[in-house]
Amino acid sequence: MGQAWERKTQFLIQNESGAAQFVFQAEKQGRRGVQHADGEFRIDEAGNAQVENGQKGLFRLLFGRNGKAFAASILSTARECAADALPGRTAAGLVRELRIHYVLYRLKVKRRSTIVTDLGGTEEGREDYDPNARFFEAPLRNLDVIWETFFRR
């Protein structure tokens, strides 16, 4: 049996608008050599997160063993940047939103609005409010059961 995944998140660069770019990296030594799963995300000053769906290897990251870890990394990094960032959000809800937006992007459904997945909080009236965030939290929890039961290797 191979080693466990080694995961880390690193700061890359801060752009002129104040958003910071981060990279999540996971790797492990397996029977077939070293396996990698990487993904980049941005966090703005308010703690909103964005993930570009055109990234190479994003499918493998989101739908593999590291999808929830990637989402947890986004959540914890956003909360390090702004203490009250992404209120009402969980790593499980974030990975559901990332997966669904990625699939819509690949299917070319609403392509302009799915190029980048915007992740915000569930509290109305806040700067980081995301109107569809609640949909990915509680109502879709059963998708996790289906995913783990039928699609996990």
Q: How confident is the model at residue 116 (pLDDT cuts 50, 70, 90)?
A: very high
E strand or H helix that includes residue 58: helix 58-63
Average pLDDT over residues 8-17: 79
CA distance 66 to 3: 14
SS3 of residue 126 by DSSP? coil
The letter for the amino acid at 55 is: Q
Overall average pLDDT of the 132-152 stretch: 68
Question: To the nearest whole percent, how much of the chain has pLDDT over 70?
Answer: 88
Domain segments of the chain as ranges = 6-151
The closest alpha carbon to 52, from 108, 98, 3, 1, belongs to 98
pLDDT band at 140 (very low <50, low <70, confident <90, very high): low
For the segment 44-88, what is each residue's pLDDT rounded down to a tens digit? 888 889 999 999 999 999 998 899 999 999 999 999 988 889 998
Strand order in the sheet with 49-52: 6-14, 20-30, 33-43, 49-52, 116-119
